Amino acid sequence: MKFQIFLFALPLFLFTACESVAQDATAPFEQKKLPYAYDALEPHIDAETMEIHYSKHHAGYVSKLNAALKESGKEDQSLKDILGNVSQMTDAVRNNAGGHYNHDLFWSVLSPDGGEASEELKKAIDDSFGSMDKMKSQMNDAASTRFGSGWAWLYVSSAGQLAITSTPNQDNPMMDAVQERGTPIFGIDVWEHAYYLKYQNKRGDYLSAIWEVVNWEEVSRRYESAKNDSK
Ligand code: MN
* pTM greater than 0.85: yes
Spell out the domains of the chain, with CATH numbers in brackets: 119-230 (3.55.40.20)
Distance 186 CA to ligand 1 centre (A): 14
Sheet holding 162-168, edge to edge: 162-168, 150-157, 182-189
Q: What's the pLDDT tens digit per position in 36-85? A: 999 999 999 999 999 999 999 999 999 999 999 999 999 999 999 999 99
36-64 core/surface letters (b: 16 or more CB in 10 A; e: else): bebebbeeebbeebbeebbeeebeebbeb
Distance 103 CA to ligand 1 centre (A): 6
4: confidence class by pLDDT, cuts 50, 70, 90: low
Distance 163 CA to ligand 1 centre (A): 22
- The mean-pLDDT minimum among 12-16, 26-30, 94-98, 149-153 falls in 12-16
Distance 223 CA to ligand 1 centre (A): 22
Distance 130 CA to ligand 1 centre (A): 30
Q: What average pLDDT does this structure show over 106-134?
A: 97
Distance 53 CA to ligand 1 centre (A): 6
Number of residues assigned to the chain: 231
Task: State the pLDDT at residue 37.
Answer: 98
